[in-house]
Chains A and B, each alone.
Chain A
Amino acid sequence: EPEVTQTPSHQVTQMGQEVILRCVPISNHLYFYWYRQILGQKVEFLVSFYNNEISEKSEIFDDQFSVERPDGSNFTLKIRSTKLEDSAMYFCASTTSETQYFGPGTRLLVL
């Protein structure tokens, strides 16, 4: 069964550094999402992406964040200058209709 994959599974970075989280959505899906989950808290919507542009974003998704679909398969989330509070699990999801399929997540730790 096709699934969403994410790399890396874990990333440790220094505050102020840039990180790029990568996702490979399911191949025939058209809508792509990023979510984050701070340890012990709820899953929070960051951004949705459709037809090569952002369709909706939350207040969390400020100028430090950007998304890109650089080719036909990858979907990336870039955090330009990481802060301590960016430490979280980041999930990518994709869908072709209503049900979103989630990747296993990238655990980001900012020191």
Chain B
Amino acid sequence: SQQGEEDPQALSIQEGENATMNCSYKTSINNLQWYRQNSGRGLVHLILIRSNEREKHSGRLRVTLDTSKKSSSLLITASRAADTASYFCATRDTGGFKTIFGAGTRLFVKA
């Protein structure tokens, strides 16, 4: 079954450093999305990358997608304490409605 799995499971960095999170999945996808979740709160959509795209930027976020390796990475540059949250990748099947979330990376940015 399709699965988005992130690594690392947890990441602790100093403010100002870059944070890189990776995601792998198993089947053909239409797109891959990254979400952020603050503890106990809802999911906030960060960025969507389509299967025919290789890289996308949004502010301090950079996402890459390698469909041959079925993997994606999320880079947050110049991290801030406010970036502390869990980050999830989510994939959507080609021709389907189901969105599959990975287990997430818990990012902790120390001030």
Beta-carbon contact of B97 and A55 below 8 Å: yes
The reply to whether the CB of A17 lies closer than 8 angstroms to some CB of chain B is no
A98 is an interface residue with CB less than 8 A from chain B? yes
Contacting pair B102 A45 (CB below 8 A): no
The distance in angstroms between the C-alpha atoms of A91 and B90, with both chains bound, is 15
When A91-B42, A102-B42 are in contact, do A45 and B100 touch as well, CB less than 8 Å?
Answer: yes
* Contact between chains at A42 and B104 (CB < 8 Å): yes
| A11 interfacial by beta-carbon distance below 8 Å | no
Q: How many of A's residues come within 8 Å of B, CB to CB?
A: 25
Q: Which of B86-104 contact A (CB under 8 A)?
A: 88, 90, 92, 96-104
Smallest CB gap from B93: residue in A? A56
**How many residues of B sit at the interface, in one of the four size bands?**
20 to 34
Q: B97 near A48 (CB under 8 angstroms)?
A: yes
The binding surface of chain A is classed by DSSP as strand
Contact indicator per residue, chain A 38-65, by CB within 8 Å of chain B (1) or not (0): 0001111100101000011010000000
1/0 per position for A72-111, CB-CB distance to B under 8 A?
0000000000000000010101000011111111010000
CB distance from B96 to the nearest CB of A (A): 6
A-side contacts of B99, CB under 8 Å: 33, 45, 100
Checking A42, A93, A101, A105 against B103 with a beta-carbon cut-off of 8 angstroms, the contacting residue is: A42
Q: Which single member of B30, B50, B97, B101 contacts A44 (CB below 8 Å)? A: B101
Where the two chains meet, the residues of B that have a C-beta atom closer than 8 Å to any C-beta of A are 30-31, 33, 35, 40-45, 48, 50, 88, 90, 92, 96-104
- 10 closest A-B pairs by beta carbon, nearest first, are A48-B97, A43-B101, A104-B42, A102-B43, A56-B97, A42-B103, A55-B97, A45-B98, A102-B42, A42-B101
Measured CB to CB, the residues of A under 8 A from B are 31, 33, 35, 41-45, 48, 50, 55-56, 58, 89, 91, 93, 98-105, 107
In the complex, 23 of the A-B residue pairs with CB atoms within 8 angstroms, ordered by the A residue number, are: A42-B102, A42-B103, A43-B43, A45-B98, A45-B99, A45-B101, A48-B97, A48-B98, A55-B97, A56-B96, A89-B40, A91-B43, A93-B43, A98-B30, A98-B48, A98-B92, A99-B33, A99-B45, A102-B42, A104-B42, A105-B41, A105-B42, A107-B40
